[in-house]
Amino acid sequence: MALTVSIIVALFAPWPWNLFAVLTGLGIEAVELTWGLRLARRWRPRTGAEAMIGQAAMVVEPCHPTGRVRVLGELWQAYCGEGAEVGQTVLIERLEGLTLVVAPTDTGASSAESA
């Protein structure tokens, strides 16, 4: 946007000032682009498997070793090697196909995180 404005200003400005206007517009655009790219690198994906890893889930069907968990209102097939009982909170470690690989937490049942 700054470059467009500076080009329009350059059409009406005398010789040395039109060059200064275009160079200023280019400089502003370069700073804006650099700032935007740095900001974009900080954001983590909030959808898909990447967003689920590390989240808490509530066990709704015993996992010995397979069962079901509820994550953000959705039911998922889960695999828990150590086993987990109904109502227990587990952490999602990874996704294998459509099955969540989970591990029990030390805090026990906590419905506030997964509801």
- Contact at 8 Å (CB) between 107 and 73? no
Q: What CATH superfamily classification does 49-114 receive?
A: Nucleic acid-binding proteins (2.40.50.140)
Provide the pLDDT for residue 113.
46
Encode pLDDT of 33-91 as tens digits: 999 999 988 886 677 777 889 999 999 999 999 999 999 899 999 999 999 999 999 99
Strand 66-71, strand 99-104: pairing:
unpaired
What is the average pLDDT across 9-36?
94
- Contact at 8 Å (CB) between 63 and 79? yes
- Contact at 8 Å (CB) between 84 and 102? yes
**pTM of the entire predicted model:** 0.56
Q: How far is C-alpha 29 from the geometric centre of its chain's CA atoms?
A: 27
Provide the pLDDT for residue 107.
60
Domain spans of the chain? Answer: 2-42, 49-114
CB neighbour class for 69 (10 Å; exposed up to 12, middle 13-18, buried from 19):
buried
What is the average pLDDT across 104-111?
63
